[in-house]
């Protein structure tokens, strides 16, 4: 879900028309329509006003839930599925997995450094 979809969703949840929301945040209905449907991003001041009207944080408005944010960053469906499984594990198991991932990343970085010196 993108920011336009979230603006539209929250507007509908608050039972606001586009005209009412546009008036509340100080933009035209045409501009609000561009935010909701055309991928136009609101400026910082407008984001702040939208968040206030909806009673949410700017981060939540822009990025959505933690899962939405991860799905926007991660594109590999298998990674997303695996990370969701790890999220539900006990803290000790999660910490072990994080250490394994960290160790593997460090190993790859070292290999890259050593290859560059040869």
One DSSP character per residue, 37-77 reads HS-PPPPHHHHHHHHHHHTS-HHHHHH-SHHHHHHHH---H
Q: What confidence tens digit (pLDDT) does each residue in 47-100 have?
A: 999 999 998 888 888 887 656 655 655 667 787 788 888 889 999 999 999 899
Domain-by-domain residue ranges, the chain?
3-68, 88-117
Are the C-beta atoms of 41 and 35 separated by less than 8 Å?
A: yes
CATH 1.10.260.40 matches 3-68: yes
pTM higher than 0.75 for the full model? no
Q: For residue 83, what are its two tokens?
A: 């990370």
In this structure, are residues 41 and 3 in contact, taking their beta carbons and an 8 Å threshold?
Answer: yes
């Amino acid at each position: 879900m993108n920011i336009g979809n979230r603006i539209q969703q929250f507007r509908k949840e608050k039972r606001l028309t586009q005209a009412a929301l546009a008036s509340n945040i100080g933009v035209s209905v045409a501009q609000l329509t561009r935010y909701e449907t055309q991928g136009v991003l609101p400026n910082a001041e407008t984001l702040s006003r939208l968040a206030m009207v909806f009673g949410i944080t700017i981060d939540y408005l822009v990025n959505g839930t933690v899962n939405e944010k991860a799905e926007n960053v991660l594109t590999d469906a298998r990674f997303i599925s695996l990370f969701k499984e790890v999220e539900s594990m006990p803290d000790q198991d999660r910490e072990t997995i994080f250490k394994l991932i960290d160790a593997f990343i460090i190993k790859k970085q070292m290999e890259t450094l050593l290859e560059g010196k040869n």
